[in-house]
Chains A and B, each alone.
Chain A
Amino acid sequence: MKLDITSPSPNIGKVVANGVLILIGILFLVPMTWLILASVDGNAGLSVGLSHFTFANFKKVWTWNLVARPLLNGLLISGVTALIVAVFSALCAYPLSRYRLRFGNSFLYTVLFGASLPATAIVIPVYTLFIHFHLVNSILGVIIFEGAGALPYSIWLTKNFMDGVPIDIEEAAWMDGAGTLDSLRRIVLPLVIPGLVAMFVFTFIESWGNFFAPFILLSSPSKFPIAVSIESFFGNRGEVIYGQLAAFSVIYSAPIIILYLLVQRVLSAGFRLEGGIKG
């Protein structure tokens, strides 16, 4: 606000800035509007509009084979992947954060390097490798692959998050006679749980949206997660009923939008906690 007084013609600048922002907002919103309106439109076409409001599209797509089972498969794959990743990265990040390991730093940078590589590139090599492990067309195979893919980044983030827990608190606990495991369980874990929950949710969201890995690694429709199911529903382009496709998309997107909203709160709660201790 101070700046406005000193800058020339603040009001014009303000109007222009608001105007440009609103224009950008509209441009971003318009493509999405189709999805929302078409999902509740009985005669949905391809352009933005609403001619006949109904929830029939949702009822039509909500069948066991099309939505319900793939939804459960998706929950299984993404849930277990995220759980494995959260547990493994917590166990891996604790020593990296708390002890000066001889290869600690080079390990961390290798992990970050691995996290940066395009994971898409590894899916087909993994498929050809999984043939030898008999992990092709197996939900476990997808979980293992997605877990290994998400682990590097999550180790890196969890380590940084643990670094944020001041070691003084732990040292104080050691003085008072707490062992390493004790201090991990009673001091560090409660403080990093918001971070681990966020980690879990982010991995879950990533996995939920991951289409390529299950698409390549799975072949029986009964094992498909919702990402692959919705693609095969769309499969015959041109013949698909757009209102139903939009309704399916809304069902598919809903869980991760809800999770994203939840994790925002968890994250800010985590930061408040940390600030409270430092203050």
Chain B
Amino acid sequence: MIPAVALLIVFFLGPIIWAVYTSLTDQTLSGATATHAQFIGIKNFRELFGVGTSGIRAVLNTAIFTAACVLIQNALGLTIALLMRRRNRYVRGTIGAIVVSCWIVPEIVAGFVWYSFLQPPVPGVGGGGTVSVVLHFFGLTQNWLTTIPVLTVILANGWRGTAFSMLVYGAAVGDIPPEQLESASVDGANGLARLRYVILPTLRKIIATNTLLITLQTLGVFTLIFTITGGEQGATLPILMWQQFNIGQIGYPNAIAVVLLIVGGFFATFYLIVLRPDAD
């Protein structure tokens, strides 16, 4: 156990403590403050949560992005898992393979795919991504990549992440005793009533676990957003962290890291509580 524990303490716990420490200083990558950083208290955090700053916008973007992805992936994943029950195995196999392949491709490639998919038409020339071409057919046009970047990355991440929920719910739905559903429908419950009174209550714990896991996975998404937006518009906290690092800051990006770790730690605690064997 010792090698693993040593590695974890030095390269996992160490950086976390280091992040907390440097987030309270004005350290930079070069210049005088690189070697002689001053302790500045919570100034970096004030800047992050200040009214009208890029920090508070990133906090909001991260909240919207995470909440929307959690909703989309839960809803779509559960819908697909429920629809897959009792379908013939060719339909199940094909749909399953398509959805899982969106999840298996590397994050950057998923980013390219959505960057091209939503590319706006060139003014006066036309063309653009598949969505633009289809919309053009109906006489419409779009420029979502620059006008609503948050929506674009939500769609892309939802597309990529749905497979995880689908697999989780697929396994869970299979564990619901068929007799329960059968007796509910004998009692006259239609599909919606069965979903509300039998399926959802049975899956309560799985839904909670899955929601927390997606939240934790989504909070730290960097690569997909970076590839699609170039790390410019619609910055979430990880993107802002990189932007600040890129201009030579250390204290401020590490303050963002600490905020992400605190928020993550909060959800991780809930996750452990839900996971306890006796939790209900």
CA distance A186 to B257 in the complex (A): 45
Indicate if B91 sits at the interface (CB-CB under 8 A).
Answer: yes
User: Is there contact, CB below 8 Å, between B15 and A3?
Assistant: no
* Residue-wise interface mask of B (94-110) relative to A, using a CB-CB cutoff of 8 A (1 in contact, 0 not): 11001101101111110
Interface segment, one of B46-54, B199-207, B216-224: B216-224
User: Is there contact, CB below 8 Å, between A260 and B267?
Assistant: no
On chain B, the number of residues with a Cβ less than 8 Å from chain A's Cβ atoms is 89
* Residue-wise interface mask of B (232-274) relative to A, using a CB-CB cutoff of 8 A (1 in contact, 0 not): 0000001001100100001001101110110011011101100
Which residues, 65 to 105 on B, are CB-close (under 8 Å) to A? 76, 79-80, 83-84, 86-87, 91, 94-95, 98-99, 101-102, 104-105
Indicate if B164 sits at the interface (CB-CB under 8 A).
Answer: no
Indicate if A76 sits at the interface (CB-CB under 8 A).
Answer: no
User: Is there contact, CB below 8 Å, between B94 and A25?
Assistant: yes
Where chain B touches its partner, the secondary structure class is helix
CA distance A18 to B130 in the complex (A): 25
Give A209 Cβ to nearest chain B Cβ, in Å. Answer: 4
User: Is there contact, CB below 8 Å, between B102 and A32?
Assistant: yes
CA distance A48 to B131 in the complex (A): 9
A-B contact count (CB 8 A): 241
User: Is there contact, CB below 8 Å, between B254 and A124?
Assistant: yes
User: Is there contact, CB below 8 Å, between A257 and B102?
Assistant: no
Which residues, 209 to 266 on A, are CB-close (under 8 Å) to B? 209, 211-212, 216, 227, 230-231, 234, 237, 242, 245-246, 249, 252-253, 256-257, 260
30 CB contacts below 8 A, A to B, read A3-B86, A8-B190, A17-B83, A18-B91, A24-B80, A25-B98, A28-B102, A28-B159, A31-B117, A34-B116, A46-B127, A47-B132, A92-B3, A92-B4, A122-B16, A124-B253, A124-B257, A125-B16, A125-B257, A127-B245, A128-B22, A152-B8, A152-B12, A205-B104, A208-B106, A211-B222, A212-B222, A249-B108, A256-B104, A257-B104
